[in-house]
Structure 1
Amino acid sequence: MIRINEIKLSLDEDIEKIPEKISKKLRIKPEEILKYQIYRESIDARKRDQINLVYTADVAVKNEGKILERYRDVAKTPDFRYKDIPHGDKTLNHRPVVIGTGPAGLFAGLILAQRGYKPILLERGQDVDTRTEDVKNFWQGKELNAESNVQFGEGGAGTFSDGKLTTRIKDIRVRKVLEELVDARSPEEILYSYKPHIGTDILKTVVRNIRNKIIELDGEVQFGSKVTNLYIENGRITGVEVNDTERIETNEVILAIGHSARDTYEMLYTSGVKIRQKPFSIGVRIEHPQEIINQSQYKAFAEHPRLGAADYRLTYQGKNGRAVYTFCMCPGGMVVAAASERNTVVTNGMSEYARDQENANSALLVQVNTEDFGGDHPLAGVDFQRKWEEAAFVLGGKDYHAPCQRVGDFLNNRPSTEIGHVKPSYLPGVIPTDLSRCLPDFVIEAMREALPALDRKLKGFAMEDALMTGVETRSSAPIRIERDEETMESLTVKGLYPVGEGGGYAGGIVSAAVDGIKAAEKIIGRYKPIR
């Protein structure tokens, strides 16, 4: 096939017109196009009075050689297919174990299962259906389940998110991840969309289907199975303990625990696994009416159905040296209660596939350095997070309501006493107050400085009634589990592969999945499949 760039459609032209555009661009008859597939879609909104959808397509045509000779900007389509690595020749004495079923763990398990290694996946939380009920109950004001919540359970923290699949990494495995997601019932458009997303509603089905595929391939998935100890002999893993009772013998463990498994961090540190502090960010969730974001981004085209709900990504460098930025923006979504420990308040954002809720929300975060942790212990960042989560819990009334503040009040350094016309989406509810009581002074200072500057980039961002809800502390892990970059094994425990967000090595669904695949490949490249 050959790759054709810059195929433009107006917003009112149907995507089915792409073959016609290709034939005109190549000056060939439509019947000379044997087949085509969209490789990438983007939006060109540089002109105020015009927005175009721009496509790159891979096309099979008659007389391909002549086309390549005629056009300098047309080339053969690169081979982006994922290729299985050759397996090793050593014998596995025990089945490999994957701890965690977030993106890194699920894809590590899937690759191992596809190649015949019969992995055992251990998940401390519950399957996605049970987990969804547990989360729903918590949001309705019932008790927090500390082992089944927005952070813990099948699919990881990403299950209750926007399901964004954007990534900055350039890796052939990205395509493998996207294709497996489509095979598991994700929308096919994620293969080419300029900002692909699944949405939490579809993502639940997808992770269930991946789990079933692993099981069909002789893998095993165990829920309610928290790893409580590692068995290590002469610097090598020999097994794991589950729920303080069961021992599973294994010499290969992929550690995909997610960024909130604080008790597991403690266990790893006690076991001699080398961990170091890592910077992260904290802040709030900020909510606006979605129509304000649409109008600011798309102007006269704001209501066009082809564009959907607009998003944004904003950055600012504070005078105090702190980076301020938006993160995990959820168009047409909601702010969610994401606590995993009792007596804490943690916020996150979530959208369904349609992105059709009234509000847009995003994290508004400020850089936190390791010097801010107040100690040299590798887990000092966890204590720093917990301090502000507990402060938010108290400020919200000690019943998992979240503290909030209108942007106008925040900028004028006065507590909020009521909600404006931006209605909060957070459940079980919010308490208007003063967010400076649950965030560090340097975070408050940087956000107050940044908001007017960000408003100049995105009109309406600092609108009076925009609502800030605190606190967001789990944007990334506060630690890194150190590993050898060649073997991906822990520096202190052979056969232990820390991966994904929990290991401090990834920043989203796709990048975490790719990291999990890489670890699985290390095992495959060393051992023969299990017969």
Structure 2
Amino acid sequence: MIRINNVKLQLGFTEADVRSVIKKTLKTDKEFEYIFFKLSLDDRRRNQVKYIASIDVDVPNPEKILKRLHNNNVMLTNATQYRFPEPGNVKMTYRPVVIGTGPGGLFAALYLARAGYRPVVFERGMDVDRRMEHIERFWKGEEGLDPNCNVQFGEGGAGTFSDGKLNTVIKDGSGRRTEAMRTFVEYGADPSIMYINKPHVGTDVLSGIVRNMREDIKRLGGEVHFDSLFTDYEQITQDEVCVHIKNISDGSEKEYRTNALVLALGHSSRDTVEMLYKKGVPMEPKPFAMGLRIEHKRADIDVMKYGDDPAYAKLLPAADYKMTHQASNGRAVYSFCMCPGGYVVNASSEHGETCVNGMSYSGRDGENSNSAIVVNVTPEDYGSDHPLAGMKFQRRWEKAAYEAGQGAVPVQLFGDYRRDIPTEKLGGVKPQIKGKYRLTSLKCCLPEYIKDAIIEGVVSFDKRMPGYSSDDAVLSGIEARTSSPVRMIRGDELRCEGTCIYPCGEGAGYAGGITSAAVDGMKVAEAIASRFSNEAITDGTQENING
């Protein structure tokens, strides 16, 4: 296989265009097949937007072709093939238990199920169909906040109500990232996510993907239980724990014995993390980032990025951006989880606290584009060296946001935020927010050093995207769930020392998005399979203990 890098393609290119470039580059008339390895949009120069591609070409005698070309952009390539390990030798008496159905939990369960381990999965929230209806009613004000089923909790995890971004910076020497993308495609994602530079699937598509994954886990002998809260556990031996699960619907409780407990909690299961800390699961604080969401008109962002060529509206997707700035106070400020043509959503999960997130549907055709503008915070900012101090820090400022919005999402125009005056009237940008919002001041919602860095950062971003710091840009807050503020410490075998507990994914501090969490779920499944045999595994279910 030959890979051709740095291939320039004009907007609206056709297959004939691609084949022509390949023939000219390889100087061959032989028959060939090709696939894109990577396709990215080069929008560094406004009104000169083009695609840059890497293309893998299957052609006879590739070594001979390469030898006569002397082109640094042409090389031989062999894709790394992902391989799941063979089962280990330790007897597994009780089936694996997976807590959580975000990408970490789903991928751990799926790959265990494919290998014959028949995992039992518990999710505190609802299945994705009921969950979406439930959250819509919350956003419309028809129901109050449900602390067990919301934007953070329920089938698919927090990523289900996001832009569905699948890009990641993790290296792929093992082939796991490519395998994860292939799995997303298998269950319903567009095949283009395999090669586009910034793949995304959107909330509407992602919900179908996780539903399909769940059904396959069940088809392979696994179980998936919703409305099932993990409340406690006892360590029986180094290789056995007894897990307590509470049925949220009727209050009954069951015990499940397992030889492998996967904790794929997500970054917002604070009550569960507190329980685990009290039980002795080793943890340490970790840095994260916190800030606000900013909204502009999608059409304005498109012009800022692409230029004003009217043809771009038909040829290009809604523009995205990624910007960073080093503030004068030493803080890093950057755009995060940018949602082209998307919505800001009330993503709260605890009573009396407000946080927001960004969400896009697959079409990315909403009126506004939004992004978080966040600032790094470190354990030194938490005011304590306690492992859970970062969670307390989050709660403090989410409570402040709740008070500022009087229970709704607090909103302020950037010009007013900059001048430190409450917003009383909107400008040209109308908030596209899922959930009620209130015009107010965001001054008390974040530490002063974050506020200062955000203002400085947005003004700086205007130099790269003129118009970005316009007075009528809409701010809302707060964005405090960028990643987990705590890490559960695990060893080389991916389990807590002296236990069969496997912390997994973003909530455990080992991932920072959908794809990296999915990959970590695969790694945990591999660790369990490498240790345990998949033969003669029993159920592990105990009688109701309160019911």
Q: TM-score range by the shorter chain?
A: over 0.9
Contact 1:33–1:59 (8 Å) recurs in 2: no
Contact 1:347–1:470 (8 Å) recurs in 2: yes
Task: Provide the residue aligned with 1:9 in structure 2.
Answer: 9
Contact 2:47–2:306 (8 Å) recurs in 1: no
Task: Provide the residue aligned with 1:389 in structure 2.
Answer: 398
1:512 and 2:520 matched? no
Task: Provide the residue aligned with 1:148 in structure 2.
Answer: 149
Residue of 376, 379, 382 corresponding to 2:388: 379
Task: Provide the residue aligned with 1:472 in structure 2.
Answer: 479
Contact 2:124–2:148 (8 Å) recurs in 1: yes
Deviation at 1:458, TM superposition (A): 2.0
Contact 2:102–2:266 (8 Å) recurs in 1: yes
Change (3 A) 1:364 1:46: closer
Give the CA RMSD over aligned residues. Answer: 1.6
* Structure 2 residue identity aligned to 1:337: N
Task: Provide the residue aligned with 2:544 in structure 1.
Answer: none
- Residue 50 of structure 1 aligns to a residue whose secondary structure is coil
Change (3 A) 1:469 1:38: same
- Residue 489 of structure 1 aligns to a residue whose secondary structure is coil
Residue of 205, 209, 217 corresponding to 2:208: 205
Comparing 236-245 and 278-287, the one that deviates more:
236-245
Contact 1:331–1:360 (8 Å) recurs in 2: yes
* Structure 2 residue identity aligned to 1:258: G
Residue of 438, 451, 457 corresponding to 1:431: 438
Contact 2:156–2:210 (8 Å) recurs in 1: yes
Q: Which consecutive unaligned segments of at least 5 residues does structure 1 have?
A: none
| CA deviation map 1:210-264 (0-9, x unaligned) | 1111111111111111111111135554221101721101011111000000110
Contact 1:3–1:75 (8 Å) recurs in 2: yes
Deviation at 1:166, TM superposition (A): 0.6
1:268 and 2:291 matched? no
Deviation at 1:46, TM superposition (A): 4.3
Contact 2:342–2:361 (8 Å) recurs in 1: yes
| CA deviation map 1:161-180 (0-9, x unaligned) | 00001110112100000000
Comparing 63-72 and 171-180, the one that deviates more:
63-72
Residue of 55, 58, 68 corresponding to 1:57: 55
Comparing 32-41 and 276-285, the one that deviates more:
32-41
Which whole-Å CA distance do the structure 2 matches of 1:16 and 1:118 have between them?
Answer: 47
Comparing 430-439 and 441-450, the one that deviates more:
441-450
Task: Provide the residue aligned with 1:256 in structure 2.
Answer: 264
Contact 1:165–1:197 (8 Å) recurs in 2: yes
Which whole-Å CA distance do the structure 2 matches of 1:441 and 1:19 have between them?
Answer: 56
- Residue 288 of structure 1 aligns to a residue whose secondary structure is strand
Change (3 A) 1:409 1:46: closer
* Structure 1 residue identity aligned to 2:424: T
Which whole-Å CA distance do the structure 1 matches of 2:69 and 2:294 have between them?
Answer: 49
Which whole-Å CA distance do the structure 1 matches of 2:382 and 2:233 have between them?
Answer: 28
What TM-score does the superposition give when structure 1 sets the normalisation length?
0.95
Deviation at 1:45, TM superposition (A): 3.4
Which whole-Å CA distance do the structure 1 matches of 2:352 and 2:261 have between them?
Answer: 32
Which whole-Å CA distance do the structure 2 matches of 1:163 and 1:25 have between them?
Answer: 36
Change (3 A) 1:92 1:72: farther
Residue of 282, 291, 294 corresponding to 1:286: 294
Change (3 A) 1:427 1:58: closer
Residue of 502, 508, 517 corresponding to 1:503: 508
Deviation at 1:84, TM superposition (A): 2.1
Comparing 16-25 and 411-420, the one that deviates more:
16-25
Deviation at 1:120, TM superposition (A): 1.0
| CA deviation map 1:380-410 (0-9, x unaligned) | 2112111111121121123xx1111101111
Task: Provide the residue aligned with 2:38 in structure 1.
Answer: 40
Comparing 378-387 and 204-213, the one that deviates more:
378-387
Which whole-Å CA distance do the structure 1 matches of 2:132 and 2:49 have between them?
Answer: 39
Q: Which consecutive unaligned segments of at least 5 residues does structure 2 have?
A: 247-251, 537-547
Residue of 482, 485, 490 corresponding to 1:483: 490
1:314 and 2:319 matched? no
| CA deviation map 1:432-468 (0-9, x unaligned) | 1110122112211222222211211222221110000
Which whole-Å CA distance do the structure 2 matches of 1:220 and 1:268 have between them?
Answer: 24
| CA deviation map 1:405-437 (0-9, x unaligned) | 101111111111111111011133221111012
Deviation at 1:365, TM superposition (A): 0.9
Which whole-Å CA distance do the structure 2 matches of 1:285 and 1:349 have between them?
Answer: 8
Contact 1:97–1:121 (8 Å) recurs in 2: yes
Task: Provide the residue aligned with 2:96 in structure 1.
Answer: 96
Which whole-Å CA distance do the structure 2 matches of 1:50 and 1:441 have between them?
Answer: 40
Change (3 A) 1:445 1:237: farther
- Residue 300 of structure 1 aligns to a residue whose secondary structure is coil
Contact 2:40–2:52 (8 Å) recurs in 1: yes
Superposition pairs of residues 102-501 of structure 1, within 5 angstroms = 102-141=102-141, 142-171=143-172, 172-234=175-237, 237-243=240-246, 245-301=253-309, 303-398=312-407, 401-484=408-491, 486-491=492-497, 493-501=498-506
Contact 2:125–2:149 (8 Å) recurs in 1: yes
- Residue 43 of structure 2 aligns to a residue whose secondary structure is strand
* Structure 1 residue identity aligned to 2:4: I
Which whole-Å CA distance do the structure 1 matches of 2:207 and 2:16 have between them?
Answer: 30
Contact 2:241–2:261 (8 Å) recurs in 1: no
Deviation at 1:316, TM superposition (A): 1.4
- Residue 449 of structure 1 aligns to a residue whose secondary structure is helix
Change (3 A) 1:76 1:152: same
Deviation at 1:49, TM superposition (A): 4.8
Change (3 A) 1:460 1:49: closer
Contact 1:345–1:392 (8 Å) recurs in 2: yes
Comparing 348-357 and 45-54, the one that deviates more:
45-54
Change (3 A) 1:46 1:267: closer
Contact 2:96–2:118 (8 Å) recurs in 1: yes
Which whole-Å CA distance do the structure 2 matches of 1:306 and 1:177 have between them?
Answer: 29
Change (3 A) 1:292 1:122: same
- Residue 176 of structure 1 aligns to a residue whose secondary structure is helix
Task: Provide the residue aligned with 2:542 in structure 1.
Answer: none
Change (3 A) 1:317 1:300: same
Deviation at 1:7, TM superposition (A): 2.9
Which whole-Å CA distance do the structure 2 matches of 1:16 and 1:146 have between them?
Answer: 54
- Residue 510 of structure 1 aligns to a residue whose secondary structure is helix
Which whole-Å CA distance do the structure 2 matches of 1:456 and 1:331 have between them?
Answer: 20
Contact 2:62–2:76 (8 Å) recurs in 1: no
Which whole-Å CA distance do the structure 1 matches of 2:199 and 2:506 have between them?
Answer: 20
